[in-house]
Chains A and B, each alone.
Chain A
């Protein structure tokens, strides 16, 4: 992956934000990119590091996203429990499920370099320590707590601060993802497992870049990840080995797409900006309508699922409604009416007031049939159909 983006593109991306500092990407936000890969609006706002939540709010469509304090504290407590005492619980899990030899217990905290928590410094330290181990450092089988990884995303260097532990067994490094959602009777919520696996996949990619960066074989990083979760209804951790090859491939493609953001930027009218600057009184310098108008210059691809994972969803849904788009009704409707863009067209075709284009012939026939059925129903003549 080529981390460098054309400098004019980079400058344009910076300018798009106005004076606002860029939002930090995390594995979670990177995973968010893969949720709706066809959406240019999201891709562009993410690439330029705009705060989508604030942008949406200032454009008049705040979208509530939040995590309960209870969920947060539970997550932290579980992670602490798994990792405390030099990862004692984690070691027990790895011994049990991977046959980790008993000698291998070394634990290296990487959350700070001395008292210095500078991200680049921490990244270099992580790289130094991991490369040393990869080159056959004296004691294999080591837990690395809070490594700092780095990834080039859309021309920006993104630091990833995983709350995970990478460990080394034999000559392979693995990523451990600790999540506090329960696995009950060996089953967990599929959506949550998928999200966790994608997150871990981002770490695998970043870890591979780190090795490539240090002149080592990226394949030293295993494509399977360890998911550590509470078992059943309590706090006992259990580990599950998950094959993440598919997610790694998917996220790699996704991240590569971010590097092709140049094309998007080139298509952008010159005056477009997502500047959120406020005056002394805290009032936005740019009128709401102007910001909303600029956002509309970047095509979105609204799907109802966006409501669950994109802060722009409220805005895009309102826009889709306004545009009479079939997307607001969800994939079921969009699939069945394939080839038709708006509700207006669908109704006109159903009522026979519009001549279908060649690729709409089949849908149009189905729509006219459905409309006839509807009329029959309305007339109460439920059985009168058929040959007219």
Chain B
């Protein structure tokens, strides 16, 4: 956390209202996201209780289970969920764009749009991860058979939850993270995990301070939790008696009574999920009101590539995601995560003065005034050629930057990168930084016009995102034995069907 962020939280508490942290929105929002609110059975690994899902605020689909421990009912529930989620995905799989040959890349296809799932919080993402894990191997033992919708749902949910690990990815967005990224509340990060509390800080009802409004949301009777965990008193008072009545009626063969208790159960669950459903749409509206960042589109391109890739993988009959990654795969994933994280941070700083300011507060960027320049400075390259290496000096009030040996970029002159050559401390507490342009400066005979900032110009330098190249990894058959599994994991064996006791 930067001092700036700490200060923002304090200010938010002072003014009784959340403090905006961003000038632009750094997450792409599609026109028609699929919103999901889930409730799960307490005490079970991933037993569904209910789900409210849909793309229309006014017409949510409510799915419920009256006997969550019953495997058949779970299966029926997921089949219904698949019937909502899969067509939503399929519509986007079918619209393809042709990408022309690009530097080093062959011509390829990319889906014109990608699905976007919106959920309340991180806990829901983790729940969907488990659901994906519990479903994706279903029926995968008989090769050649068509994928059952439920297994397919499992594979997609696994895909979405894996993508959600990548900073900046917008395929599955937990709303509390989104809001907390764009606003500082006057409470702790732990309390920010509550969607209702966070919204209370961002838009407190009139007459209430953010703290007061957030306090009100802690009453689970008035503000049902956003899931997947339900309130224990709800379980005890509303759910358990109705489930019992339903069970007894079924056992007695009394279908009228069973239907009635099922309907009551459904109403109770509807009342639990609907507030969160509405909050999610309000939160979406809040986010949409912020103009999108310029580099959002590039990241969404990445998201669409990932989506296209997985879609093709499924189409070609590829296997479900394994339980444990192959070591090379794991290393690749780790590198990709790291790269996504750096890229996202660097890109945000270029798009958003708020982020840039945070970086300056943390010593990851600096701003100042150009006090001298040598635009024609030349040096010898390692091969002995004469090259243009302009230098200039900046005086800054910011703390001495920690970003040595890194390509830096001035958001206002994005074509040239520069590196810090030298930092000297001045008596007044300011610093003099000698910068050297390392790319985009042109040649001695044809220097680029706008590479070197002017005398007296105010400049700002932050890390350049383009330096995060994708590292190369050996292919599977070239992996040294030290890094390969002694036995390739067979996912099917990990899923013992007799783990599952019929309820």
Contact = CB atoms under 8 A, between A and B. Distances in A.
Interface of A: 64, 66-75, 180-182, 184-185, 230-236, 304-305, 307-308, 321, 326, 328-330, 332-333, 335-337, 343, 346-347, 350, 363, 365-367, 369-374, 376-377, 382-388
Contact of A383 (B10, B43, B412, B494): B412
B440 interface: no
A304 B191 contact: yes
A232 B10 contact: no
B4 A370 contact: yes
By secondary structure, the A interface counts as helix
Given A184-B133, A383-B353, 20 more contacts: A69-B232, A70-B44, A71-B43, A71-B232, A184-B130, A185-B133, A230-B45, A232-B134, A234-B498, A234-B501, A329-B186, A333-B5, A346-B7, A369-B360, A370-B4, A370-B6, A373-B4, A374-B7, A386-B395, A387-B397
Interface residues of B, number: 68
Nearest to B134: A233
Interface of B: 1-7, 9-11, 13-14, 41-46, 130, 133-134, 186-191, 211, 220, 230, 232-233, 235-236, 239-240, 323-324, 353-354, 356-357, 360-361, 366-369, 371, 394-399, 411-412, 430, 458-460, 494-496, 498-501
Nearest to B19: A374
A305 B2 contact: no
B3 A370 contact: yes
B6 A332 contact: yes
A174 B395 CA distance: 66
B496 A232 contact: yes
Given A234-B496, A369-B398, A383-B412, A377 B354 contact: yes
Contacts of A304: 187-191
A330 B189 contact: yes
A371 B11 CA distance: 11
B6 A337 contact: yes
Given A68-B42, A185-B494, A234-B496, A343 B368 contact: no
Nearest to B497: A234
A183 to B, nearest CB: 9
Given A370-B361, A377-B357, A387 B236 contact: no
Nearest to A78: B43
B45 A335 contact: no
Contact of A233 (B9, B323, B367, B499): B499
A232 B460 contact: no
A68 B43 contact: yes
A372 B396 CA distance: 13
A69 to B, nearest CB: 5
8 contacts: A68-B235, A235-B499, A235-B501, A304-B191, A369-B360, A370-B2, A377-B357, A382-B356
